[in-house]
Amino acid sequence: TKEARVAVLGAAGGIGQPLSLLLKQMPIVSHLNLYDIAHVMGVASDLSHIESRAKVQGFLGPDNLRPCLDGADIVLIPAGVPRKPGMTRDDLFNTNAAIVRDLTAAVAESCPKAMLGIITNPVNSTAPIASEVLKKHGVYDPRRAFGVTTLDVVRSNTFIAEAKGLDVSKTNVPVIGGHSGITIIPLISQCTPPVSFPPEERVKLSMRIQNAGTEVVDAKAGAGSATLSMAFAAAEFCKSLIEALNGQEGKVQCAYVRSEETEAKYFATPVLLGKEGIEKNLGMGKLLDVEVNLLKAAMPELIANIQKGEQFVGDSK
Ligand code: APR
C-alpha cells in the first residue's frame, strides 16, 4: 500500500472525531494529522493507541495549522458550527464562511496540490468559497476541490433499499445538484438495481431525502446536526479518493464540483476519480420529467448560494 497523508481540520468536533476514527481504521492511510482550535490533543492521543497503521498526530491552534498541512495528500474540512433546530444550513453562513476561507488559505499555502473536501455547511456556498480562495492564491485546480455530498447518496441508498427490501450494500442512487433542501436531487430513475414507485410514494421519498438533515437536527433537539452518518459518508468519499490516487481505476463518487452541466457553476454529479482527482465528470444522464422539475426548482437557490459564497470572498479581498 502506498502512502496517503490525510489532514482533518476540525477533528475534535462531532463529525471530526468519528471521521478520524474511521480513517484511522483504514490500512491505506499512513498519516492522520488532526487539527482543531480545541480538545484535539486528547482526541489524537486517544486515537494513537489504536493498533492500526496510520500515525496520528494532533495539532492545536492556528500556530500549528501549517505544520498539520505540510505534505498532506488529502485535506478534509468539517470545522465550523453545526445547525440547531429552526436554523437552515444557510443560517450558518457567516461563521462558517470565514472558517472555510481562512483554513483554505492555509491549504493554498502549505499543500496546494492536496485534494480538498469541504464538509462544513452550507456546502452549496462553502465549496465555492474554498475554490475562490484557491484561485486568489493562484493554485486552483478544479479537479482537486470537492464539496462532500456523499451523505445524500448514503441516505438515498438506505431509504430506497428499506422501501424496496433491497440489499443496501448493492443499492446505489446518484444524487445531483447541491447539498441543502430542494437543491438535493436524488435520481431515483437511475437507481441500481432499477426500482419503481407509484408517483405519490416517489415524491414522498424524494422529499424525505431532501429533508433528511432536518430529520436529524430535530431528533437531536438542540444538540447539533448529523455527525455519525456524515462521518461515515466522508470516510467513504475519502477512501475512494485515496484508492484512485493510488491507481485503482473506476472509482466513482457523486460530489459537488466545478461544473458545466448546468448554469450553476458548481453542481454535484457522479465523477470518475483518478490520480489527479476528477478524471471525468460523468454528468447527470437522462432525467425523468419529474426529475427535470426537481432540477428546475433547485436552480435559483443553488445559483444564489454559489453567488453568496463567491461574493463573500470578493468582499473580503
Ligand atoms: N479551525 C479549526 N477548527 C474549528 C474552527 C477553526 N477556525 N472553528 C471551529 N472549529 C472546530 C470546533 O472546535 C469543533 O471541534 O470545529 C469543530 C466542529 O464540531 P461541532 O461543533 O461538533 O460541529 P459538527 O457537528 O462536527 O459540524 C461541523 O460540519 O456538516 C457540517 O453543518 C455542519 O457546518 C457544520 C460542520
pLDDT in tens, 163-188: 999 999 999 999 999 999 999 999 99
- Which of 34, 60, 96, 99 is the best mutation target for the ligand 1 pocket, counting ligand atoms within 8 Å of the beta carbon and taking the most? 99
- The binding-site residues of ligand 1, defined as CB within 6 angstroms of any ligand atom, are 9-10, 12-16, 36-38, 78-83, 92, 96, 99, 103, 119-121, 224-225, 227, 230
Q: Whose alpha carbon is nearest atom 21 of ligand 1? A: 81
CB atoms within 10 A of CB 260: 10
Which protein residue has the closest C-alpha to ligand 1 atom 7?
99
Task: Give mean pLDDT, residues 222-232.
Answer: 94
Q: How confident is residue 317, by pLDDT bands cut at 50, 70 and 90?
A: low
Ligand 1 centre to CA of 21 (Å) is 16
- For 69-89, write each residue's pLDDT tens digit: 999 999 999 999 877 788 776
ipTM of the complex: 0.98
The residues near 133 (Cβ < 8 Å, ≥ 6 apart) are 100, 101, 104, 105, 108, 313
Q: What angle do CA 149, 154, 160 make, to 5 degrees?
A: 130
Closest residue (by CA) to atom 5 of ligand 1?
79
What is the whole-number distance in angstroms between the Cα of residue 304 and the centre of ligand 1?
24
Ligand 1 centroid to 104 CA: how many Å? 15
Residues 6+ apart with CB under 8 A from 208: 159, 215
pLDDT digits (tens, 9 = 90+) for 77-132: 999 987 778 877 667 898 999 999 999 999 999 999 999 999 999 999 999 999 99
